[in-house]
């Protein structure tokens, strides 16, 4: 049973984002955004797949071949400067504000972000705080220009 209204529980299969139910979301996000219905990735592993999507390059061209250091993860992403030219950087160059909500890459934590620097291209980042990032529920921490609980600096 879902939460009582108002809530933000959305379900693609139940069509809860239909404009009849959420006209503002449809007007502000869906009609101006992108919906990918049939997306295929060459690697079905978190960090290689996300990096391929964000850079437009196959994992054998980014050398992001694992979810953990030394062959993958956030530390490798930053060390190899894969954030120098990728989707959020391109969108900002075109004049868009960019926000990341949710998990970015394995190893992107309250410790690694200040130590390694935040990834380039994001106006703001809202990510789950450990240990909830493992199960994708719970606390959200802000990294970027929008301050909130868990804020760890600016991009």
Instruction: Identify whether 131 is preceded by a cis peptide bond (ω within 30 of 0).
Output: yes
3-state SS class at 124: strand
H/E run at residue 125? strand 124-128
User: One of 46, 47, 59, 118 is an active-site residue; which one?
Assistant: 46
Encoded tokens for 2:
């879902």
**H or E element, residue 143:** strand 140-144
CA torsion sign for 67, 107, 90, 97 is positive
46 is catalytic: yes
Question: Among all residues, which ones are annotated catalytic?
Answer: 46
């Amino acid at each position: 049973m879902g939460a009582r209204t108002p809530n933000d529980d959305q379900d693609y299969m139940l069509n809860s984002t239909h404009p009849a139910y959420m006209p503002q979301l449809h007007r502000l996000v869906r009609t101006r955004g992108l919906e990918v219905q049939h997306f295929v990735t060459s690697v079905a592993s978190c960090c290689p797949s996300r990096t391929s999507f964000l850079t437009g390059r196959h994992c054998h061209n980014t050398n992001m071949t694992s979810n953990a250091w030394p062959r993958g993860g956030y530390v490798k992403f930053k060390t190899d400067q894969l954030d120098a030219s990728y989707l959020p950087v391109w969108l900002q160059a075109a004049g868009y504000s960019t926000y990341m909500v949710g998990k970015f890459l394995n190893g992107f934590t309250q410790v690694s972000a200040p130590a390694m620097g935040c990834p380039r291209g994001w106006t703001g980042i809202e990510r789950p705080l450990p240990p909830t990032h493992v199960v994708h529920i719970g606390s959200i921490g802000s990294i970027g220009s929008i301050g909130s609980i868990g804020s760890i600096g600016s991009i």
